[in-house]
Chains A and B, each alone.
Chain A
Amino acid sequence: EPEVTQTPSHQVTQMGQEVILRCVPISNHLYFYWYRQILGQKVEFLVSFYNNEISEKSEIFDDQFSVERPDGSNFTLKIRSTKLEDSAMYFCASSWERGLTDTQYFGPGTRLTVL
């Protein structure tokens, strides 16, 4: 069964460093998403991406964040200068349609720890 994959599973970085989280969505899906979940809190939407551009983004997704689909398979989230409060589990998700009539399938997540 096709699934969303994410690498790495755990990333530890120093405050102020740049990190890139990688995702490979399900191959025939067209819409891609990033969510985050701070430990003990709810899953929060960051950004959605379609046709090589951002469709929507939340207020969390400020100028420190960027997304890219550098090739036909990868979808990345970059955090330019990490802060302590960026420590969270980051989930990538993908869907065939824009969440209206289809579900979003989640990857296993990348746990980001900022020291």
Chain B
Amino acid sequence: EDKVVQSPLSLVVHEGDTVTLNCSYEVTNFRSLLWYKQEKKAPTFLFMLTSSGIEKKSGRLSSILDKKELFSILNITATQTGDSAIYLCAAGSQGNLIFGKGTKLSVKP
């Protein structure tokens, strides 16, 4: 059975801290690994990764994929209270996305 596992499930940090969120996957016909940020409602797209070892960056966020070990990490540096959200990892397989349960990040001032 296809599965995506995220860790930790929740995380509380203070502003300015750096965090690393983990995602491992076992998915048949794996195509891509996506990260989304979910605040109040819809998941909003952060990154899509298809190749191993190539870091993608957007401001203070970065992500990398390891297709040999079947995992990805999402790093957030110099966290801000606005980073508080649930971060979802999803594996793309034959067109549909298989989501993990998410990591709930709380950034305290």
- Chain A residues with a Cβ under 8 A of chain B: 31, 33, 35, 41-45, 48, 55-56, 58, 89, 91, 98-109
Contact = CB atoms under 8 A, between A and B. Distances in A.
Identify whether the interface residues of B are mostly helix, strand, loop, or mixed: strand
Contact of A42 (B50, B92, B95, B101): B101
Contact of B95 (A44, A48, A106, A109): A48
A58 B93 CA distance: 12
Interface residues of B, number: 23
Contact of B41 (A48, A89, A99, A100): A89
Contacts, number: 61
A89 B99 CA distance: 15
B69 to A, nearest CB: 22
A58 B99 contact: no
B99 A98 contact: no
B96 A33 contact: yes
Contact of B42 (A45, A91, A101): A91
B98 A103 contact: no
A104 B41 contact: no
Interface in B50-109: 50, 88, 90, 92, 94-102
Given A99-B32, A101-B50, A43 B95 contact: no
A68 to B, nearest CB: 19
B44 interface: yes
